[in-house]
A = this chain, B = another copy of it.
Amino acid sequence: MIAVLKQGVTEKQRDSLISWFETLGLSVHISEGEFHTVLGLIGDTSKVDTELIEGLDIVETVTRISDPFKSANRKFHPDDTVVEVGGVKIGGGNFAMIAGPCSVESHDQIIEIAKSVHESGAAMLRGGAFKPRTSPYDFQGLHADGIELLLEAKKITGMPIVTEIMNANHLPLFEHVDVIQVGARNMQNFELLKELGRTDKVILLKRGLANTLKELLMSAEYIMAGGNEKVILCERGIRTFETYTRNTLDLSAVPMLHELTHLPVVIDPSHATGVSRLVKPMAMAAAACGADGLIIEVHNNPAKALCDGPQSLLPEQFADVARSVMTIREAIGK
């Protein structure tokens, strides 16, 4: 970490700042320039709060050279993490498709979709039992019953299941869930992340609507700091000014995250675009730039198609997406 002091800082102020850095366990390398004094801070700066230092009257700028995340940092863990759950691997060259409905609605619905996506190549089943909705008046999910139905589908198809948690108090209900999803709106619900860090479940952590990649990695760090290193990162679109798509899918996050971290990265083209016609091209693009997996919404009931979201595919459409994604994977030698 490099701190540049303002012009006119007195020796006393400088020394007081240096002593303070030293109490934080850092050694300080001083370089006096013509106009500015530059302090090089050496040691474990990951626990130093940059904003605090930048706020000091005597400091011009602070530049962090090392990243504030450690457990998630590829520099300290050069090999890809391979997350394994119920026989399915993600990361380190292993690719997995996760498919299923937005919400679990009924026994027949979830079993039918599960069978169908399993046949088409999905490795895991997703489905919402607890649904975060902007409005308190919208359908909030089947809760415990939804999880029961997912577990039945798991028994029948053998696929591990992925479902979202919204409250750490619900953890007992997730005992047999394979992958616990943290939704975009809870990405910085630090209390929830800490609780999940104390479990041994695989966590699928979605990027918040307006969160930087650094913040995503810091949230992964919350889970990992608790001892749980089984984290899968998920890019699902960020909020921009564009209106033809619901969000803007940031695919450059895939290679950028692969450079910064050893954790696997999956893409959710359904929520990212909010337009089912865009799911296939975006899934193919995600595979082409090296994503470790996809999470895709699939619905099955033509009679109730009325109630299915604009971002959801029919099972036969998912099969087509899966084939195209696999073609890309083969072409790039994966």
Contact = CB atoms under 8 A, between A and B. Distances in A.
A281 B277 contact: no
A302 B255 CA distance: 25
Contact of A256 (B212, B278, B286, B308): B278
Contacts of A242: 212-213, 238, 250
Nearest to A55: B310
Given A46-B137, A55-B276, 12 more contacts: A38-B40, A166-B189, A212-B243, A240-B241, A245-B256, A255-B281, A256-B275, A282-B289, A285-B289, A287-B288, A331-B331, A331-B332
A106 interface: no
Interface string A205-233: 00011101111001001100100000000
Nearest to A311: B55
Contacts of A52: 306-309
Nearest to A248: B250
A77 interface: no
A56 interface: yes
Integer count of this chain's copies in the complex: 4
A266 to B, nearest CB: 15
Interface string A142-178: 0000000000000000000000001111000000000
Contacts of A31: 29, 31, 38, 40
A58 to B, nearest CB: 9
A63 interface: yes
Nearest to A62: B63
A31 B33 CA distance: 9
Contact residues on A (Cβ < 8 Å of other chain), bracket: 35 or more
A112 interface: no
B38 A2 contact: yes
13 contacts: A4-B65, A33-B40, A52-B309, A132-B190, A133-B190, A189-B189, A212-B243, A239-B241, A248-B252, A255-B277, A256-B275, A324-B332, A328-B328
A324 to B, nearest CB: 7
A93 interface: no
A316 interface: no
A49 interface: yes
A5 to B, nearest CB: 10
A202 interface: no
Contact of A252 (B166, B255, B260, B273): B273
Contacts of A2: 2, 4, 36, 38, 61, 63
A134 interface: yes
A42 B36 CA distance: 10
B277 A288 contact: no
B256 A244 contact: yes
A31 to B, nearest CB: 3
Given A190-B166, A212-B244, A278 B252 contact: yes
